[in-house]
Amino acid sequence: MSKSTSTRRDALRKIALGLTAAGSLQQLDAQAAEHVHSAAAADTKGGKYTPKLFNAHEWATITRLSAIVVPADDRSGSAVDAGAPQFIDLLCSQNQELAVIFTGGLSWFDAEMRKRVGKEFVSATPAEQTAMLDAIVAAERTVREQGAEQALFARAQQYKSFSGYTVKPGTDLAPGVKFFDWARRLIVDAFYTSPIGVKDVNYIGNVAISKYEVPQEAIDYAFNRSPFRIV
Amino acid sequence: MAQVQRSPEVFDVVVVGSGAGGGTTVRVLTEHGIKCALLEAGPMLNVAKEFKEHQMPYDVPHRGAEDGGAAYFGKGKPFGYFSTTSGGWELDGEPYTVGEGSEFRWFRSRILGGRTNHYGRMSFRFSPYDFKPYSKDGLGYDWPVTYEEMSPYYDKAERFVGVTGENHNDMPSAPNGQFLKPPPPKVHELLIKKSCDKLGIPCIPNRRAIVTEPMKGRIPCHYCGQCGRGCQTASAYSSSQVEIFPAMKSGKLKVFDNAMVREVLTDGNGKATGVVYIDKNTRREKIIHARAVVLAASACESARILLNSKTKEFPNGVANTSGVVGRFLMDTVGFGLSGYVPAMEGMPHYNTDGFGGAHLFMPWWKWDKHHQLDFPRGYHVEIGGGYGMPGIGSFQGAARRAGYGKGIKELARKEYGASIGFAGRGEMIPNIHSYCEIDRNVVDRWGIPVLKFHFKWSDYEWKQARHMEKTFADIINGMGGRVTGLSAAQREADGISTPGTIIHEVGTVRMGNDKRDSALNKFNQAHEVKNLYVVDGGFFVSNPDKNPTLTINAFAWRAADHLAEEMRKGNV
């Protein structure tokens, strides 16, 4: 985080310098922009998070689920490291509809696990936890293949509903499939919108540069794998 | 009326609306020394607060999902939290209605600068043939002006706005202009160009209103790539920063914000005397008088104002004896398709943000081959691709396919940056089923009767969209890629953009030589009210496949020069 933040600070500074040279046009008030930026950043930092909505058990469950959905590997941390539980708790605390989806879903996870192995989700072994997720994902795939096109290709346009699958009635795992779709969506978004996730996919834009260039190395790489030859 | 508050100040001209048309008008008029009042229905723009282009998603606790995850429920800001859209498809307390069997969505911006704060900056001057479409194929209507008459104003507008591009002597669909140096093409664009070469489709440097060298106090683009969020350095054009703020410094311009205009006032002798507006802060009606009135409230909003300005002299609304106001509503035909290109999997990453949009585009390539096609008018193609800033929803495709676990990361890394997208933007023929009118049964929160929309695509547009689809699939396949965007089932239902959603709505106060079938003359001056001009997209006679903003800049500039001259001569 500190690296990319300082890069953007440098960028803003560069822009501010350019503006001083540019003169009187009302454009960037760089100081103000910087202020807004740091105020926002400060909010995401800091000590121990106290859940606003989830109770201790729900918090432990969503934390465990986040770690399974996007686990750490040799390149980057997990969704827990990326603040997924905080992100989900925050949004749920602001939205009753979302809160119901999550508290209800987490509770269903416990009930399902109890049915399977007589334990709550967090108390189950990792193998038992992944076995249950495997079953949910398998059910989801069946549903997706059956329910098909519409769900697969629903356009996520802002003004249309974003919500996902229609689950066939009679599937025992249906509530789990629905909830898991929501949980995964928010966990994955939390991961990739964090400094860890941005670094994981190696996004290197949104910086101020004076000249835009495309590296020959990248051109060569793609062309050598394409039907075309470089002129 | 006795209680209505009149502005104590006297203005030469009152301008309604602060987008490309209104901004250009007040800038040019104040340069002529004319004192203007500018009315904007939204608040004043605060650049530092409003424009979020340098933020990353983690700079806000909701990461862009908005409070309560509104974006997940389709209730977030249009185009996402970070974009600069003070406005939207639905505005609280300012409804519109849609006729039975029709679909139309109306985007309205409510802030100084309007949609120019976040628009795509695509800046395409019309081609000579675009001004005479009826003469070419017998459909629609000709403009009352020629390319030769407008070309000098396109030159001026391009030089002022700052447009990138290159001249191509053999490209009638993309005439030469006054261009700044464009940035080099990105890798996916080079691949697309190769694929287009094989298909005989031209792929040329994009024409966008972004300065790539210092210009009149604007510093060059710094390639942060987030133009849709507003540009704090005004390297990307906006009427607020580039026209209005400088004009305010001249001392000749006063801006009234939160001023929602209801009607144009006339004196009973064919002259406008000012406008009535609702001050949104106090919900009180106010009046501003001026020697001339310029409407630039957006095509449909200006039509609404005229239709709501009914008098004994103008029972159909001011300047509307012809009855054309509200008719001939057009949007651009839109169709999009995305593809996946394995050649780019694992490519060494580089910064693909560039100047915030594609560096290349495809102008229409069959302008002389319409006899071979089953649709009459052309389209251009816009390109998407690259390593976009991760945001809400970015990797959901990978997540769903992987299920859960490490596979999500692996798939996301592999696929990131290997997708491309195409957006066709085509010309619609005006038709009698597409128009707006006043809905007599509904008023907005300001008590102003609202618009009711009617809209139909014809076969011309549907067939054009099918041509786009085939073309995009050919390009994708030609580069070893696969189409990912739409399924067969989806094509049936969703094979053309919802009317209004390309946000190029124009034509509702059209110009013409004959006052029986047009509202304005070729200088954007109302035939019936000489001191009334309309300079937003309302004046369009046709809607060529050239995004409308630059044409609005050029015509508004010409109209302002005309008005200044008429005022000098004492005709207005």
**Chain segment A33-59, per-residue pLDDT in tens:** 344 334 444 444 556 899 999 999 999
Closest partner CB to B347 (pick from A27, A76, A222): A222
As a whole number of angstroms, the distance between CA B460 and CA B453 comes to 21
A1 touches chain B (CB under 8 A): yes
Distance from CA of B360 to the nearest CA of A (A): 14
pLDDT band for B494, please (50, 70, 90 cuts).
low
**Chain segment B105-161, per-residue pLDDT in tens:** 999 999 999 999 999 999 999 999 999 999 999 999 999 999 999 999 999 999 999
Co-location of B472 and B379 in the same domain: yes
The residue behind tokens 């009326």 is: B1
Residues of chain A found within 8 Å of residue B67, distances taken between Cβ atoms: 91, 94-95
Distance from CA of A139 to the nearest CA of B (A): 11
Co-location of B359 and B320 in the same domain: no
* Overall number of domains in chain B: 2
Co-location of B355 and B422 in the same domain: yes
CA-only gyration radius of chain B, Å: 23
Residues of chain A with pLDDT under 70: 1-47, 143-171, 231
Domain boundary (B494, B514, B547) is at B494
Q: Averaged over B76-81, what is the pLDDT?
A: 88
**Chain segment B39-48, per-residue pLDDT in tens:** 999 999 999 8
Residues of chain A found within 8 Å of residue B346, distances taken between Cβ atoms: 221
A98 touches chain B (CB under 8 A): yes
Closest partner CB to B69 (pick from A95, A141, A206): A95
Co-location of B464 and B544 in the same domain: no
Distance from CA of A106 to the nearest CA of B (A): 17
Q: Per the CB < 8 Å rule, is A24 touching B249?
A: yes
Q: Per the CB < 8 Å rule, is B73 touching A186?
A: no
Structural domain includes residue B153: no
Nearest to A112 by CA among A171, A69, A159, A70: A171
DSSP B175: -
Nearest to B430 by CA among B20, B142, B106: B142
Distance from CA of B50 to the nearest CA of A (A): 10
Q: Which of A25, A86, A191, A199 best tests the B interface by mutation, with the highest count of B CBs <10 A?
A: A25
CB burial readout A118-132, b (16+ within 10 A) else e = eebbbbbeeeebeeb
Co-location of B182 and B311 in the same domain: no
Beta carbons within 10 angstroms of residue A16's beta carbon: 17
Co-location of B480 and B545 in the same domain: no
CA-only gyration radius of chain A, Å: 23
Q: Per the CB < 8 Å rule, is B396 touching A209?
A: no
Residues of chain A found within 8 Å of residue B194, distances taken between Cβ atoms: 226, 228
DSSP track, A96-139:
HHHHHHHHHHHHHHHHHHHHHHSS-TTTS-HHHHHHHHHHHHHH
Residues of chain B found within 8 Å of residue A190, distances taken between Cβ atoms: 63
A2 touches chain B (CB under 8 A): no
As a whole number of angstroms, the distance between CA B11 and CA A110 comes to 71
Model confidence at B487: pLDDT above 60: no
Residues 6+ apart with CB under 8 A from B489: A148, A149, A150, A153
Closest partner CB to B489 (pick from A43, A149, A215): A149
Distance from CA of B246 to the nearest CA of A (A): 7
Structural domain includes residue B534: yes
**Chain segment B440-481, per-residue pLDDT in tens:** 999 999 999 999 999 999 999 999 999 999 999 999 999 999
Q: Per the CB < 8 Å rule, is B241 touching A70?
A: no
Co-location of B370 and B465 in the same domain: yes
Largest CA distance in chain A: 72
Percent of chain B with pLDDT over 90: 92
Closest chain A CA to residue B238: A27
Q: Per the CB < 8 Å rule, is A69 touching B249?
A: no
Q: Averaged over B67-72, what is the pLDDT?
A: 95
Model confidence at B240: pLDDT above 90: yes
Domain ranges of chain A: 2-46+201-224, 56-200
A100 touches chain B (CB under 8 A): no
Structural domain includes residue B128: no
Co-location of B407 and B486 in the same domain: yes
Give the C-alpha distances (Å, rounded to integers) separating B381 from A134, B118, B162, B205, B563.
43, 20, 22, 12, 37
**Chain segment B258-295, per-residue pLDDT in tens:** 999 999 999 999 999 999 999 999 999 999 999 999 99
Co-location of B185 and B256 in the same domain: no
**Burial, B10: exposed, middle or buried (Cβ in 10 Å; 0-12, 13-18, 19+)?**
exposed
pLDDT band for B486, please (50, 70, 90 cuts).
low
A46 touches chain B (CB under 8 A): no
Co-location of B310 and B360 in the same domain: no
Co-location of B365 and B413 in the same domain: yes
* Paired sense of beta strands B97-98 and B449-454, if any: parallel
Q: Per the CB < 8 Å rule, is B408 touching A91?
A: no
Closest partner CB to B393 (pick from A149, A189, A197): A189
Q: Which of A2, A26, A38 best tests the B interface by mutation, with the highest count of B CBs <10 A?
A: A26
Chain pair A-B, CB pairs under 8 angstroms: 291
Q: What is the pTM of this model?
A: 0.91
**Chain segment B162-202, per-residue pLDDT in tens:** 999 999 999 999 999 999 999 999 999 999 999 999 999 99
Model confidence at B255: pLDDT above 60: yes
Contact A133, B404 (CB under 8 A): yes
Co-location of B217 and B243 in the same domain: no
A206 touches chain B (CB under 8 A): yes
Distance from CA of A92 to the nearest CA of B (A): 6
Domain boundary (B469, B494, B519) is at B494
Structural domain includes residue B414: yes
Model confidence at B488: pLDDT above 60: no
CATH number for the domain harbouring residue B110 = 3.50.50.60
Give the residue numbers spanning the domain of B260.
5-45+105-121+239-330+505-569
